[in-house]
Amino acid sequence: MTSQQIKDIQEKFVQLQQQIKEVVLSPEKDIKVILDGNVQIIDIEIISNKNIEQLKPALIETINIGIKSVSEKIKTIMIALQTEMQNNIQSL
């Protein structure tokens, strides 16, 4: 595999990662968390009249669900790119 092919795959990974945007709602739909492909929270919206202590468990759960979801998407991308790399190596 050439250094250019490796660079192309790295660029492809970054592009695919930048496309990830995960919107997660809490079970009661009173919290919305949006994460990006860098597993960074880009927005939190509270859609409730409950106080923060009441919302805290749901907020933690919703963030954790979002982190797991984004992580799975990144893992899927990495597996696909790994397969592509292996196919490129075998075709040499």
Kindly report, residue by residue over 17-59, the tens digit of the pLDDT. 999 999 999 999 999 999 999 999 999 999 999 998 999 999 9
% of the chain at pLDDT higher than 90: 77
Instruction: Say whether pLDDT at 9 is over 80.
Output: yes
From the candidate CATH numbers 2.40.128.110, 3.30.930.10, 3.90.1640.10, 3.30.1310.10, the one assigned to the domain spanning 3-90 = 3.30.1310.10
User: Which two structure tokens, joined as six digits, stand for 48?
Assistant: 């409730």
Out of 5-9, 43-47, 80-84, give the one with best mean pLDDT. Answer: 43-47
The pTM for the full model equals 0.88
> Would you give the distance in Å from CA 74 to the centre of its chain?
6
Main-chain dihedrals φ then ψ at residue 39, nearest 5 degrees: 60, 40
Residue 87: partners with Cβ closer than 8 Å, 6 or more residues away: none
How confident is the model at residue 67, as a pLDDT?
98
Please give the span between the terminal C-alpha atoms of the chain, in angstroms, as a whole number: 8
